[in-house]
Amino acid sequence: MPAELDKIRNFIDGQFVEPVGGRYLDNIEPATGKAYSHVPDSDGRDVELAVAAAEKAFAGWSHTPTADRSRILLRIVDLIERDLEKLARAESVDTGKPLSLARGLDIPRAGSNFRFFATAILHTESEAHITDGVAFNYTLRQPRGIAGLISPWNLPLYLLSWKIAPAIACGNTAIAKPSELTPMTAYLLCEICREAGLPKGVLNVVHGTGPNVGAAITAHSKIGTISFTGGTVTGRKVAESCAPMFKKVSLELGGKNPNIVFADADQDAAIAGSLRSSFANQGQVCLCGSRVFVERSVYKDFVDHFVEKASQLRLGDPLEATTDQGAIVSKTQLDKVKFYVDLAQQEGGTIALGGSSPEAINERCQSGYFFSPTVITGLPVSCRVNREEIFGPVITITPFDNEDEVIGYANDNEYGLASSVWTQNLNRAHRVAERIHTGTVWVNCWLVRDLRVPFGGMKQSGVGREGGDEALRFFTEPKNVCIAK
């Protein structure tokens, strides 16, 4: 493993290197509020070095036989599995999420991402089109060159590996920038890639802030492919930077997802599922169902039972096995959550549960960024709290009277990432799913992910789709070869 775990370094051309400017940022552990390592505060000069390395590596990697690329990626999977405990702990310390969640979801999923694309590239098909008696056409799908991969803090390794794996599996080289708030697992992944035999320069990781590093990546003329996951406001800046160069861009952005519970649903399942979709990772999953709509005839019962179950979630030190709810990622994010809870009260809402930071968790966590699971009722659908993404453990619950009304509520939002529908009526399930404007509709479940399906958002939740064939197509350039008969 890297010798200095307290000082993260960039990974460029197969080497761990200091940032050119020699500057570092504090890397804060959210559960304690204290710096526990330092992350490079890199800039355009470091991106320039990464581009040179990625450019040099492209010639060899793009011509490496698919089977060899696949073998290296599968070795990465083995090493992620070998280091699962270490990676999970790093992820938990870095993000504040419960260790059990990092161990059970984030890190295994990072391994699955590499396995999925390592094997997918062995099974791709090429299209051929015969133009009557005139010509044969076939389509080459070639790697595009250097891919810039920018990710957020909420699921750091899970989301970054979801980009790195397809990009390099297809024969591109990559420059990745994890969030400056949660850089540790990306750092550990670099060592894994090196040990797995990934040739130098194929994956480069440049740490630092969005304005310094992210913007240098999106503005670089030699990085023609940009895959970005993060907030909608940042996504707009990325789009503006890429548009004049006609870069190929995928944007996975924010969400304000509706979670609809009909009276005919299995109420126990709906409550259990809604509890997860509301508060998983302290509500810091882009797919969390932060707007819960419940049919009026079961509304009171639902609220009572939901609040009772939510009050039983154990908020605690993320590293303790009994913890269900850990820390919020940063002071800034905690302040944002508090702002919206205050706003909810100004907008006429009632706090049915939570609404504040808990008493000190334990000695170690007394300065950590914690907030209790919070349920707000009585808000109009059109208010700011119901329209804007909070990205924390705060949900609203609103009654509705019929299907048309709730579909109107669900769609009356600038976001369109995901939704959940709870009903036992099969016809209704299909009908509602068809009419909701979100990239994913879960019926009687939440966060069930098959890596083959297209993943992404509508409206302000993004442009493009990740996952399966969509990712393989995104990271390759189709070229038609037309041969006259």
- Which residue in 90, 146, 215, 406 binds ligand NAD (CB under 6 A)? 215
Count of residues making up the chain: 485
d(CA 477, CA 139): 10
Checking 111-116 for CB contacts under 8 A at 24+ apart, the result is 111/77, 111/80, 111/81, 111/84, 112/451, 113/158, 113/161, 113/162, 113/165, 113/451, 114/73, 114/74, 114/76, 114/77, 114/80, 114/161, 114/165, 115/73, 115/74, 115/77, 116/165, 116/451
Please identify, among the stretches 59-67, 187-195, 228-236, 372-380, the one whose residues bind ligand NAD according to the rule CB under 6 A. Answer: 228-236
CB atoms within 10 A of CB 322: 9
Q: Please check whether residue 83 is in contact with residue 188, taking contact to mean a CB–CB distance below 8 angstroms.
A: yes
Q: How far is the CB of 185 from ligand NAD (least distance, A)?
A: 13
Residue 360 in tokens: 């000190």
Q: How far is CA 68 from CA 4, 63, 146, 315, 378, in A?
A: 32, 10, 20, 46, 58
Q: How far is the CB of 234 from ligand NAD (least distance, A)?
A: 3
Q: Please check whether residue 226 is in contact with residue 242, taking contact to mean a CB–CB distance below 8 angstroms.
A: yes
- Which residue in 95, 172, 218, 460 binds ligand NAD (CB under 6 A)? 218
State which residue, 27 or 423, has the beta carbon closest to ligand NAD: 27
- Which residue in 28, 47, 190, 238 binds ligand NAD (CB under 6 A)? 238
The Cβ-side half-sphere exposure at 322, using a 13 Å CA radius, reads 5
Q: How far is the CB of 138 from ligand NAD (least distance, A)?
A: 34
- Which residue in 145, 231, 378, 454 binds ligand NAD (CB under 6 A)? 231
The site string for ligand NAD over 105-144 (x = CB under 6 A, - otherwise) reads ----------------------------------------
Q: What is the largest CA-CA distance in the chain?
A: 80
**What single-letter amino acid sits at 285?**
V
Judging by DSSP bridges, how do beta strands 248-252 and 462-463 pair with one another?
Answer: antiparallel
Residue 58 in tokens: 């492209």
Strand partners, 458: 416
Does position 389 bind ligand NAD by CB under 6 A?
yes
Residue 131 in tokens: 């133009």
State which residue, 156 or 399, has the beta carbon closest to ligand NAD: 156
- Which residue in 201, 255, 416, 464 binds ligand NAD (CB under 6 A)? 255
Q: How far is the CB of 330 from ligand NAD (least distance, A)?
A: 9
State which residue, 72 or 101, has the beta carbon closest to ligand NAD: 101
Q: How far is the CB of 94 from ligand NAD (least distance, A)?
A: 13
Does position 286 bind ligand NAD by CB under 6 A?
yes
Question: What are φ and ψ of residue 366, in 5° steps?
Answer: -70, -20
Please identify, among the stretches 1-9, 205-213, 290-298, 475-483, the one whose residues bind ligand NAD according to the rule CB under 6 A. Answer: 205-213
Q: Please check whether residue 92 is in contact with residue 102, taking contact to mean a CB–CB distance below 8 angstroms.
A: yes
Q: How far is the CB of 462 from ligand NAD (least distance, A)?
A: 6
- Which residue in 177, 194, 207, 437 binds ligand NAD (CB under 6 A)? 177
| 369 alpha carbon, distance to own chain's centre | 21
Q: How far is the CB of 37 from ligand NAD (least distance, A)?
A: 17
State which residue, 177 or 194, has the beta carbon closest to ligand NAD: 177
Does position 417 bind ligand NAD by CB under 6 A?
yes
d(CA 120, CA 114): 10
Q: H-helix or E-strand containing 350?
A: strand 350-353
State which residue, 186 or 303, has the beta carbon closest to ligand NAD: 186
Please identify, among the stretches 38-46, 109-117, 199-207, 246-254, the one whose residues bind ligand NAD according to the rule CB under 6 A. Answer: 246-254
State the residue for tokens 């205050």: 342
- Which residue in 7, 103, 222, 237 binds ligand NAD (CB under 6 A)? 237
Catalytic residues: 252, 286
State which residue, 354 or 456, has the beta carbon closest to ligand NAD: 456
- Which residue in 44, 457, 467, 468 binds ligand NAD (CB under 6 A)? 457
Q: Please check whether residue 110 is in contact with residue 84, taking contact to mean a CB–CB distance below 8 angstroms.
A: no
Does position 396 bind ligand NAD by CB under 6 A?
no
User: Total residues contacting ligand NAD (rule CB under 6 A)?
Assistant: 32
State which residue, 400 or 475, has the beta carbon closest to ligand NAD: 475
Q: How far is the CB of 354 from ligand NAD (least distance, A)?
A: 21
Site residues, ligand NAD (CB under 6 A): 150-154, 159, 177, 179-180, 209-211, 214-215, 218, 229-231, 234, 237-238, 252-255, 286, 389, 391, 417, 457, 461-462
